[in-house]
Amino acid sequence: MRFSAWQLLKEGLTGNKGWGAHWRDPEPKPAYDVLIIGGGGHGLATAYYLAKEHGITNVAVLEKGYIGGGNVGRNTTIVRANYGLPGNSEFYSHSLKLWEGLEADLNYNVMHSQRGIINLFHSDGARDAAARRGNAMINQGDDAVLLDRDGVRAMLPYLDYENIRFPVYGGLYHARGGTARHDAVAWGFARGADQRGVDLIQNCEVTGIDVEQGRVTGVQTTRGAIKANKVAMVTAGRSGQVAAMAGMRLPIESHILQAFVTEGLKPCIDTVITFGMGHFYISQSDKGGLVFGGDLDFYASYAARGNLPQAEHVMEAAMTLMPMIGKARVLRSWGGIMDMSPDGSPIIDTTHIDGLFLNCGWCYGGFKAVPGSGNVTAHLIATGRPHEAATKYRLDRFATGIGLMDEEGTGSQHNLH
């Protein structure tokens, strides 16, 4: 099934009764060329690009729950390319370019909306850092504008400009940043992979990874053993556990991040705003809900819900930045489990086991990475060499200390990123 204007019109006039399933529900075959563990955004995008760009279609994505039930459907949907460090800068730039062509490529409305992002700053030092970051972004070929206080006030008149502790000095504006509909991104990649022959196998938990003489030979699952000479571990917050099945210990600790959404409101916030000093960020969804969040709960957790102190902290920051938010009612909150790496940057690499690939450590920034990550991981699996946009995401950087990418300069403790 593909979408067209004609189809939309026809379905609209006939009660939307003719839309079919977006992907098949196949039984697992005994063997594939490539197995991808994890049917989140990154796993589905990897499968899609393997089929589309490398012609490798005898592929299965193994998902223990349902497609899109993990972090790809739990995040706050911010898409941007405003990273400063070499390594991150070119990767997120590559990913944003893929986003910009994604809807046409997938023939799927992922509601990618380049509504812009403003990162506020509140001191002279932070202004200098924002200017330097903006220059790095421009050098990378992306866009950045340094706004002064009046420039921010013209765009965001509802912020509290009289705040004594964190007066708004200005903001770094990234016009090509914005948001996308998270579920639709998973569905679009799922459908695109399925159409090219990839088997998406849901309710199929990987319980073991088979290794013989240093080579991966397949996996054990709740739906039986499946053979393959190439296996990719793409399991977001569960990477530590999945890698343990192959006898690996990773530089990863899993933490929860909470998110909140209010009742639907008339359009009032037309961009993404980040308030780093208060650990708060916000945007408005196309349905009208204000979507916001803050920091991690700060301790290792696999509970897909958070604790109250962090919720309270986020609400306080919201009220500090934009007192008008106090009038909105919070509808829902939830948590997602994420891999936290010691430098806050991801890992996309081969492993010491032949044929076993690793994609992990996205911390709380991996949604914007979905197309880029799938694209470069597919390249790595198909060719055995890292894609040029992802040469720095090596696993050995922690052991050697060379090429660490601590974007925020917070140090080498997992929960600080």
Partner 1 sequence: MRITCPCCGPRDLREFSYRGAASDLDRPAADAPPEDWHAYLHLRDNPAGVTRDLWYHELGCASWLVVTRNTVTHEILSCEMARDVAREAAR
Ligand X SMILES: Cc1cc2nc3c(=O)[nH]c(=O)nc-3n(C[C@H](O)[C@H](O)[C@H](O)COP(=O)(O)OP(=O)(O)OC[C@H]3O[C@@H](n4cnc5c(N)ncnc54)[C@H](O)[C@@H]3O)c2cc1C
Which residues of the chain form contacts with partner 1 (CB under 8 A)?
A: 238, 240-241, 244, 249-254, 298-303, 307, 309, 342, 398-399, 412-415
Instruction: Kindly give the pairing relationship between strand 59-62 and strand 199-201.
Output: parallel
Closest separation between CB of residue 43 and ligand X, Å?
A: 6
Closest separation between CB of residue 8 and ligand X, Å?
A: 28
Pick one of partner 1, ligand X, none as the site partner of residue 240 (Cβ within 5 to 8 A by kind): partner 1
Tokens representing 69 are: 């039930």
Closest separation between CB of residue 80 and ligand X, Å?
A: 8
Pick one of ligand X, partner 1, none as the site partner of residue 42 (Cβ within 5 to 8 A by kind): ligand X
Tokens representing 267 are: 């359009």
Residue closer to partner 1, measured from CB, 218 or 335: 335
Pick one of ligand X, partner 1, none as the site partner of residue 309 (Cβ within 5 to 8 A by kind): partner 1
Closest separation between CB of residue 267 and ligand X, Å?
A: 19
Closest separation between CB of residue 242 and partner 1, Å?
A: 11
Pick one of partner 1, ligand X, none as the site partner of residue 242 (Cβ within 5 to 8 A by kind): ligand X
Tokens representing 390 are: 């992802």
- Which residue's Cβ lies closest to ligand X? 40
The CB-side HSE value for 172 (13 A sphere, CA atoms) comes to: 29
Q: Which residues pair with 287 in a beta bridge?
A: none
CA dist list (Å): 134 to 84, 112, 278: 8, 23, 21
CA dist list (Å): 277 to 63, 108, 123, 169, 284: 38, 37, 10, 12, 21
Pick one of ligand X, partner 1, none as the site partner of residue 380 (Cβ within 5 to 8 A by kind): none
Closest separation between CB of residue 381 and partner 1, Å?
A: 24
Closest separation between CB of residue 353 and partner 1, Å?
A: 16
Closest separation between CB of residue 5 and ligand X, Å?
A: 30
Pick one of partner 1, ligand X, none as the site partner of residue 280 (Cβ within 5 to 8 A by kind): none
Please report, as a single letter, which amino acid is at residue 5: A
The CB-side HSE value for 336 (13 A sphere, CA atoms) comes to: 28
Residue closer to partner 1, measured from CB, 178 or 344: 344
The span from the CA of 84 to the CA of 89, in Å, is 6
Pick one of ligand X, partner 1, none as the site partner of residue 300 (Cβ within 5 to 8 A by kind): partner 1
Residue closer to ligand X, measured from CB, 342 or 365: 365
| Full 3-state SS string of 334-364 | EEEEEEECCCCCCEEEECCCECEEEEECCCC
Residue closer to ligand X, measured from CB, 344 or 365: 365
Write the CB contacts of 382 (distance below 8 Å, at least 6 apart in sequence).
Answer: 50, 53, 54, 56
Q: What does DSSP assign to residue 40? A: S
Residue closer to partner 1, measured from CB, 77 or 351: 351
Residue closer to ligand X, measured from CB, 63 or 142: 63
Closest separation between CB of residue 311 and ligand X, Å?
A: 12
From start to end of 122-188, where are the E strands?
Answer: 145-148, 170-174, 178-179
Buried b (16+ CB within 10 A) or exposed e, 93-121: bbbbbbbeebbeebebebbbbbbbbbbbb
Pick one of partner 1, ligand X, none as the site partner of residue 77 (Cβ within 5 to 8 A by kind): ligand X
Residue closer to ligand X, measured from CB, 75 or 195: 75
Pick one of partner 1, ligand X, none as the site partner of residue 246 (Cβ within 5 to 8 A by kind): none
**Number of residues assigned to the chain:** 417
Which residues are near ligand X by CB under 6 A?
37-43, 62-65, 69-72, 74-78, 205-206, 235-238, 242, 257, 259, 293, 336, 338, 362, 364-368
Residue closer to ligand X, measured from CB, 206 or 273: 206
Closest separation between CB of residue 191 and ligand X, Å?
A: 16
Phi and psi at residue 221, to the nearest 5°: -135, 170
Pick one of partner 1, ligand X, none as the site partner of residue 122 (Cβ within 5 to 8 A by kind): none
CA dist list (Å): 58 to 51, 228, 403: 8, 10, 35
- Answer whether 317's CB lies under 8 Å from 217's CB: no
Coil, strand, or helix at residue 45? helix
Element (H, E) at 145: strand 145-148
Residue closer to ligand X, measured from CB, 236 or 290: 236
